[in-house]
Chains A and B, each alone.
Chain A
Amino acid sequence: MNIKKFITILIVVPLTFISLNTDIQAKAKCKIVIAGSTTVLPIAQRSAELYMDVNSDANITVRGGGSGVGIAALIDGRCDIADASRSMKTKELKIARGKGVNPVGNIIATDGIAIVVNKSNPIKNITLEQLRDIYTGKTVNWKELGGNDAQIVSISRDYSSGTFEVFKKLVLKGDKVKNDVLMLASNKGVSTTVNQTKGALGYIGLGYISDDLKVLTVNSVYPTKENVSNNNYPIARPLFMYTNGKPKGLIKSFIDFILSDNGKKIVEETGYVPVQ
């Protein structure tokens, strides 16, 4: 009996202290909760860390989940900033207005989508039309693009990924993606598979380019940071942080921090292109 009591005390007392402690912390500090796109996550995470180093009374919680999750959380009032790798859809805006939330999109960076192939592939350039033909199933062999006689293994991100959304809008231009395209859940999954597969063709966020992959020029433009930021590169998208109304107070100070020179450095370090 004594041992049981001892164990109970051992568990209950620290728990009480921890809960009291977090309660006090939450009250003392100004709190921001960020949720949403995994593409924006590295920027949000790194900036939050550095911002909290400078402003010790700020408490910023960063979560992933995906653009849709973040936006839904913003609408329900469960987060203050929703990260999104796409702009909000009309349906989402409608739901938000119905609940009295007025989402404002703050562009914090630009991301290019790189077209990648296996290193053994001799192809160097691809046009948007060729890409569309491949992903809609009209072109199936590398030979038709002047490459080796091998099947094109086209790899896509999943249906609900923000990257797929942008790819569909800018490359497929509203056409349906073919049914036998490989659908992988993450940027990392795409780059691993392209690296392992000779005939593979895939697309990934600029931050995921590595030496294991060969990046193609699209319409003869290479996705360098300059080309993405001055819109020469055709497959680029803005990254958003949505807030309820125009950002105010701590939220404004945090977003301004990301747009400052220090923030731009973070954006570049994480592989994206800062806003000019």
Chain B
Amino acid sequence: MSRFNSNKFRESIGDYFSYTFFFKNRRKIKDIKEILFKIIIYTTSISSIVFLFGIIISIFKEGWSIFVSYGIIKFLFGMSWHPTHYPPEFGIFPLIMGSICITIGSLIVAIPLGLGSAIYVSEIANNRVKEILKPIIELLANIPSVVYGLVGMAFFAPLVQRIFNIPIGLNVFSASVILGIMIIPIISSVSEDALSTVPKQLKEGSYALGANKWETITKIIIPSAKTGIIVSIVLGFGRAIGETMVVLMIAGGSPHIPKSIFQSARPLTSAIASEMGEAIIGSQHYHSLFGIAIVLFIIIFITNLIVELAVKKKWRIK
């Protein structure tokens, strides 16, 4: 009790609530805030890596056993997919071909349209048209894929069937067109960014040499934005091969290699989506669906790697 100085105590309490205390220790409070903020930001950035590795580990853990028990060659190149038959057959080659056919078809639709609109928006259109066009293209990107699927299934597929007079409208052609429309915004916006970063000097030099607009676009602007355009196409490819809802609803789902564009196909994604709900957990069928997920993951990983490398290369040149 003797050591207790009541006056000092009162002072320190008073200090604590006074402005002077706050100003004296402002630096400290700021430091604490900064450290807290750093911790929070760090955790959030780490969390996405954790999620990614969690996903990779779990699909490999669940899917690996099909490569071992069924044989990796038989799984990847087997011609027949009958997962619930006895004995089951898990050859995913027809599904891979289905995915590839539809993806290539969608790129054939999307590249000219996407690139064309990108060139128009960045080089030809005036500002007012640009202001109207850009949000519309972006809106196209924001329509949920199930809506595309619904429109394709209810309106587009019957139309295709009538126009070409074929037995069924749910086929590679319909799926490719709808999927192509879906990836137009990706190709268009990414390649528009690339086109608009072409240095002004190049364009002006071209005009100064007497080239007209067409020559400038085809010989100067597109070649110098080449990397960006390729990146946009690879991104579109990645989006198209991973898309599930549209192909599930429009591609028809036949597990065979399509022999014409008017036959139906069963892409990898739609096989997972339609069968996972009913597959017995822990069965070979269940593991084979995770095996498909591994194949899809590797395809997407390679496309992203190409994009990453291409972008880096572009920066190095600059």
Assess whether B253 is in contact with A184, with CB atoms less than 8 Å apart: yes
Residue from the list A151, A160, A179 in contact with B275, Cβ < 8 A:
A160
Assess whether A179 is in contact with B255, with CB atoms less than 8 Å apart: yes
Give the chain A neighbours of B3 by CB distance below 8 A.
none
Cβ of B252 under 8 Å from chain A: yes
Cβ of B266 under 8 Å from chain A: yes
Give the chain B neighbours of A198 by CB distance below 8 A.
167
Cβ of A243 under 8 Å from chain B: no
Cβ of B58 under 8 Å from chain A: no
Give the chain A neighbours of B114 by CB distance below 8 A.
none
A113-145 interface code vs B (CB 8 A; 1 in, 0 out): 000000000000000000000000000000000
Cβ of A217 under 8 Å from chain B: no
Report the bound CA distance from A182 to B254 in whole Å: 5
Question: Within residues 54 to 72 of chain A, which ones have a CB less than 8 A from any CB in chain B?
Answer: 65-69, 71-72
Give the chain B neighbours of A91 by CB distance below 8 A.
280, 283
Give the chain A neighbours of B86 by CB distance below 8 A.
174
Give the chain A neighbours of B82 by CB distance below 8 A.
159, 176-177
Residue from the list A89, A159, A164 in contact with B280, Cβ < 8 A:
A89
Assess whether A72 is in contact with B280, with CB atoms less than 8 Å apart: yes
Assess whether A158 is in contact with B280, with CB atoms less than 8 Å apart: no
Assess whether B84 is in contact with A183, with CB atoms less than 8 Å apart: no
Assess whether A160 is in contact with B83, with CB atoms less than 8 Å apart: yes
Within the complex, the shortest CB–CB distance from B152 to chain A, in Å, comes to 12
Report the bound CA distance from A196 to B253 in whole Å: 17
Assess whether A183 is in contact with B277, with CB atoms less than 8 Å apart: no
A168-202 interface code vs B (CB 8 A; 1 in, 0 out): 10000010110111111100010011001111100
Within the complex, the shortest CB–CB distance from B151 to chain A, in Å, comes to 13
Cβ of A207 under 8 Å from chain B: no
CB-CB nearest in chain A for B258: A180
Report the bound CA distance from A177 to B89 in whole Å: 12
Cβ of B161 under 8 Å from chain A: yes
CB-CB nearest in chain A for B270: A185
Give the chain A neighbours of B276 by CB distance below 8 A.
160
Give the chain B neighbours of A177 by CB distance below 8 A.
82
Assess whether A189 is in contact with B252, with CB atoms less than 8 Å apart: no
CB-CB nearest in chain B for A67: B278
B243-284 interface code vs A (CB 8 A; 1 in, 0 out): 000001100111110000001101000000111111111110
> What would 28 A/B residue contacts be, using CB atoms closer than 8 Å?
A66-B277, A68-B278, A68-B281, A69-B277, A69-B278, A89-B280, A158-B275, A159-B82, A160-B275, A160-B276, A160-B277, A160-B285, A161-B278, A162-B278, A176-B82, A176-B85, A179-B80, A179-B94, A180-B254, A182-B253, A183-B254, A183-B266, A184-B253, A192-B153, A196-B161, A197-B161, A199-B168, A200-B168
- Known contacts A160-B83, A192-B154, then 14 further A-B pairs from the complex at CB < 8 Å, ordered by chain A residue: A67-B278, A89-B280, A92-B280, A95-B282, A151-B167, A158-B274, A159-B83, A165-B84, A179-B256, A183-B252, A183-B274, A189-B153, A193-B168, A197-B169
Binding site for B on A (CB under 8 A): 65-69, 71-72, 89, 91-92, 95, 150-151, 153, 158-162, 164-165, 168, 174, 176-177, 179-185, 189, 192-193, 196-200
